[in-house]
Amino acid sequence: MRITFAALLSALLIVTLAGCRDDNCIDLSGAASYCLLPAEQAPTVSLTQQVQLDWNEQRFTLLSVLEADQKNTTLVMLNPVGQTLFSVKQDAQGVTTKAAMKLPSGFDPKILLAMIQLALWPEQKIRAGLAPASCLRLEVAPDSRQLKCDGQPVLSVSYRNAQLTSYQLKWFSVPLQIEATAVNEAN
């Protein structure tokens, strides 16, 4: 049985959005949420990545284009032939999404923006953005990050280069793995 990209996104979103309390928060484990950091906390980033999404033994290849500064962050996801699937923009007014195709019911592209923030934003910004009452704790090593809730791993990022632009991200409560490779390293 072949799983379509739409089915992948539907299943992912049902699991992740079940516990959200805030429009800009993503339920990570049932016990913990991560809220998108405000646009003014974004580092300056211009990055194109080849992205592999693994879900239920299916692999999806996408292209991710990220542009961020302290005024706005824009993430555009494209299929392998370069057609835009959707985009997410965050600025002082909030987060907006645009879909070039009909997305699965309930799909919120902000999930991928949250994953990118957790992987690429500076450690001190992520730590400052975690709610003090939250069970979430960030552990950082030179080549990895791990987000834990009450000592249990929720999400891990293993970096594959010194610039931290190529990485593998695992989200443990959802069978999701993301491998992102900066385009200039993909070849």
Better-scored residue on pLDDT, 142 or 10: 142
Q: Is the pLDDT of residue 23 over 90?
A: no
Ramachandran area for residue 82 (φ above 0: left; ψ -120 to 50: alpha; else beta): left
Phi, psi angles (nearest 5°) of residue 83: -80, 135
**Mean pLDDT within 107-135:** 88
What tens digit of pLDDT does each residue of 143-185 get? 999 999 999 999 999 999 988 899 999 998 877 789 999 997 5
Cα separation, 171 vs 147, in Å, equals 10
Better-scored residue on pLDDT, 27 or 182: 182
User: 60 falls in which pLDDT band (50, 70, 90)?
Assistant: confident
What tens digit of pLDDT does each residue of 75-112 get? 999 999 999 989 999 999 999 999 887 765 555 788 88
Mean pLDDT for all residues in the chain: 83
What is the predicted pLDDT for the residue at 45? 94
Q: Which residues of 89-105 are buried (b: 16+ CB within 10 A; e: fewer)?
A: bbeeeebebeeeeebbe
State the burial class of residue 154 (Cβ atoms within 10 Å of its Cβ: 0-12, 13-18, 19+). buried
Q: Is the pLDDT of residue 8 over 60?
A: no
The structure tokens listed for 88 are 């997410």
**How far is CA 44 from each of CA 39, 132, 164, rounded to the nearest angstrom?**
11, 26, 14
What is the predicted pLDDT for the residue at 175? 75
Give the percent of the chain with pLDDT over 70.
Answer: 81
What is the predicted pLDDT for the residue at 19? 39
Show me where the domains of the chain are located: 5-133+176-186
